Amino acid sequence: MQRREKTTPPLIPKVAATRISRYLRYLEELQARGATTTSSRELGAALGVTAAQVRKDLGYFGQFGYPGLGYKISNLIPEIQRILGTDRSWNVALVGIGNLGTALFRYKGFAAHGFRIVCLFDSNPRLIGRSVEGLVVHPVQAVGELVRSKKIELAILSVPQTAAQDVAQSLVEAGIKGIFNFAPVLLSLPEDVAYVSIDLAVELEQLAFLVCHRERELAKVKSPFE
C-alpha cells in the first residue's frame, strides 16, 4: 500500500475522473441540441450529482467557468477532452476475437471517441490469418513486434480467463501502456501500466443483489449515478 507525502497536491479521486467522462458525454449531447452554455447546477441535475460536486470535480483540473455565467460548452468540451487524453487518437490492439471481441471491434462508440482498433490478435489457428472487416487476425506471439511497429498504446483483452495473465504479460513486455480487461480475473501488472477491468458476471450479480435488497430497503446501496 503506497504511502504518500502530505504535501502532494490535491489528490484526484478515481470517481471524479469517471464523472468527468460523463459530464463530457452530456456536454456533447447539449451541444448537439444547440446549447452554448451550461451550469454546474444543470450538469449535476442531468447526472444525479450535486452542483458542488460538479464544480469540485472540474476544480481538480483548473478553472473553466465564468462566475455568474456558467460554462461555455464549446470551451469546456475540449478542456475535458484534454484532461481525459481524448484530444488525440489512440491506437488500440484487440486481443481475443471471440464473440465479445468481435462485438467490441464492431462497436462504433470507441472510434467516435478517438480510439482506433488497429490490430487484432488471437491464439486460435483457425482465426489467425482471417480478415475481419478489413483487419487481419495475427497470432498472439506477434504482439511484441506489432505493438511496436503500429505504435499501439492500449489493449482490449477479451480472451478466456485462463489466458488473460499470460497475454497481459506479453503486452506489458511489448510496451503497452494500458489494458482494458474483460476476463474475470485480477491481472497482476507493473505499477506503470494502467488498468481498467469489467467483469460482466460481477455486474449482473450486482443487479441481482440490488433487486434482492430493494425490498429490504438497503439504503446506502445506491449507485453512483442514479
Partner DNA sequence: TAGATTGTTAATCGATTAACAATC
Residue type, 7: T
Restricting to residues 35-74, which ones interact with a copy of itself according to CB under 8 A?
A: 46-48, 50
Cβ-based nearer residue to a copy of itself, 141 or 183: 183
Interacting partner of 102 out of a copy of itself, DNA, none (Cβ under 5 to 8 A depending on kind): a copy of itself
Q: Does 170 bind DNA (CB under 7 A)?
A: no
Least distance CB 201 / a copy of itself (angstroms): 4
- List Cβ neighbours of 96 (8 Å cut-off, separation of 6 or more): 121, 122, 157, 158, 159, 160, 163, 167, 182
Least distance CB 160 / a copy of itself (angstroms): 10
Q: Does 91 bind a copy of itself (CB under 8 A)?
A: no
Relative to beta strand 71-72, strand 37-38 is antiparallel
Least distance CB 104 / a copy of itself (angstroms): 7
- Secondary structure of 64-113 as H, E, C letters: CCECCCEEEHHHHHHHHHHHHCCCCCEEEEEECCCHHHHHHHHCHHHHCC
Restricting to residues 8-67, which ones interact with DNA according to CB under 7 A?
A: 11, 13, 15-16, 39-41, 49-53, 55-56, 58-59, 63-67
Interacting partner of 134 out of DNA, a copy of itself, none (Cβ under 5 to 8 A depending on kind): none
Q: Does 136 bind a copy of itself (CB under 8 A)?
A: no
- Residue from 41, 113, 116, 150 binding a copy of itself (CB under 8 A): 113
- Residue from 37, 132, 153, 169 binding a copy of itself (CB under 8 A): 153
Residues that bind DNA (CB under 7 A): 1, 4, 11, 13, 15-16, 39-41, 49-53, 55-56, 58-59, 63-71, 220
